[in-house]
Amino acid sequence: MEKDQRHQRLKFYFDGDSFTYGGGLKKKYGADPRKVRWSKTVSDHFGAEEVNIAKSGASNDRVLRHLFNDNFDSIKDYDFIFIQLTFPIRNEFWSDKFNRWFSYSLIKDFIKSGEMDKYEKHFGPEYSAWFDYYASRICTMKHGMSRELVAYNSIVSYLKLLDKPFLILGLSHYDHIDYDFNLCREKYDRIPKDGHPSVHGHNQIAERIIHKVKDKL
């Protein structure tokens, strides 16, 4: 799918979590993620407009909500679609009280990051009891991986119907999905004691993604 770039610029769509947003770059290097992340480099290489709506801590549910709800009518206007699925133990819920979506993960991640204290402040101590039950009895890894597979197959089927070129990136230590690019399996430079791609790591990812895009555009 090509456009006459004398008249119309290519437009690339990116969604995912901190690995696509550029998590850790500002804290470690003082760098603006919007200027050095892999999605920016890939877009610049093809002279495309970068539309990156990724968010740190995002869940696969957020990615699906954007694709099938918020951007359902506009997704057809993009020339290439990059979807990065994330850890299967993440999810989100809507709060009428705050009129916004909240992301959450398994309780061990929340305790480690201090997120549980923030949620208790918003919703009260009863939230802890509910979340502890949900995380230990319902939102198991097996449950999450099953939902991840549903998300993957739904996205792939939909984008094929639209006849849009796309790449699906994953963040999985398991082999249940054959991702185009698995950020957990690929080797690239990472921020020490953080795990996110460094500035150099984003360049390494971008270089490999560019080769994959060339085969599809």
- Rounded Cα gap, residues 2 and 123, in angstroms: 49
Cα-based distances in Å from 111 to 21, 58, 107, 133: 23, 17, 6, 15
Are residue 125 and residue 166 in the same domain, yes or no? no
3-state DSSP assignment of residue 31: coil
Number of domains in the chain: 2
Are residue 98 and residue 82 in the same domain, yes or no? no
Domain boundary among 138, 165, 196: 138
Assess if residue 31 is contained within a domain: yes
Quick check: 6 pLDDT over 70? no
- Rounded Cα gap, residues 144 and 205, in angstroms: 26
Are residue 33 and residue 67 in the same domain, yes or no? yes
Token pair listed for 185: 């399996």
The stretch 24-38 carries a mean pLDDT of: 95
- Rounded Cα gap, residues 43 and 51, in angstroms: 9
Are residue 105 and residue 179 in the same domain, yes or no? no
The stretch 143-166 carries a mean pLDDT of: 95
- What pLDDT, on the 0 to 100 scale, is given for residue 85? 98
Instruction: Give the tens place of pLDDT for each residue, 69-99.
Output: 999 999 999 999 999 999 988 888 888 888 9
Tell me the sheet residues that pair with 197. 190
Are residue 56 and residue 81 in the same domain, yes or no? yes
Assess if residue 125 is contained within a domain: yes
Asked which of 26-30, 100-104, 180-184, 192-196 is least confident by mean pLDDT, the reply is 100-104
Q: Whose CA is closest to 90, among 52, 111, 62?
A: 62
Assess if residue 54 is contained within a domain: yes
How confident is residue 129, by pLDDT bands cut at 50, 70 and 90?
confident
Assess if residue 17 is contained within a domain: yes
Residue 132, domain extent: 92-138
Assess if residue 29 is contained within a domain: yes
Mean pLDDT of the chain: 88
Quick check: 8 pLDDT over 90? no
Report CA torsion sign: 119, 121, 126, 132: positive
Assess if residue 76 is contained within a domain: yes
Are residue 133 and residue 148 in the same domain, yes or no? no
Please report the beta strands in 62-215, taking only residues with DSSP state E, as ranges in sequence order. Answer: 80-84, 91-95, 100-104, 166-170, 181-182
* Helix ranges restricted to H, 97-198: 107-113, 115-123, 126-133, 141-161
Assess if residue 3 is contained within a domain: no
Quick check: 25 pLDDT over 70? yes
The stretch 11-30 carries a mean pLDDT of: 96
How confident is residue 118, by pLDDT bands cut at 50, 70 and 90?
low
Let me know how long the chain is: 217
Matching residue, tokens 């080797």: 187
- What pLDDT, on the 0 to 100 scale, is given for residue 109? 53
Are residue 32 and residue 130 in the same domain, yes or no? no
Instruction: Give the tens place of pLDDT for each residue, 155-181.
Output: 999 999 999 999 999 998 888 999 999
Are residue 149 and residue 85 in the same domain, yes or no? yes
Domain boundary among 107, 138, 169: 138
Quick check: 113 pLDDT over 70? no
Assess if residue 115 is contained within a domain: yes
The stretch 145-162 carries a mean pLDDT of: 96
Are residue 81 and residue 185 in the same domain, yes or no? yes
Token pair listed for 151: 């998300």
Are residue 50 and residue 100 in the same domain, yes or no? no
Query: pLDDT above 90 covers what percent of the chain?
Result: 66
Are residue 150 and residue 96 in the same domain, yes or no? no
Numbers of helices and strands, H then E, in the chain: 10, 7
Domain boundary among 80, 114, 138: 138
What CATH number should be reported for the domain holding residue 198?
Answer: 3.40.50.1110
Are residue 72 and residue 157 in the same domain, yes or no? yes
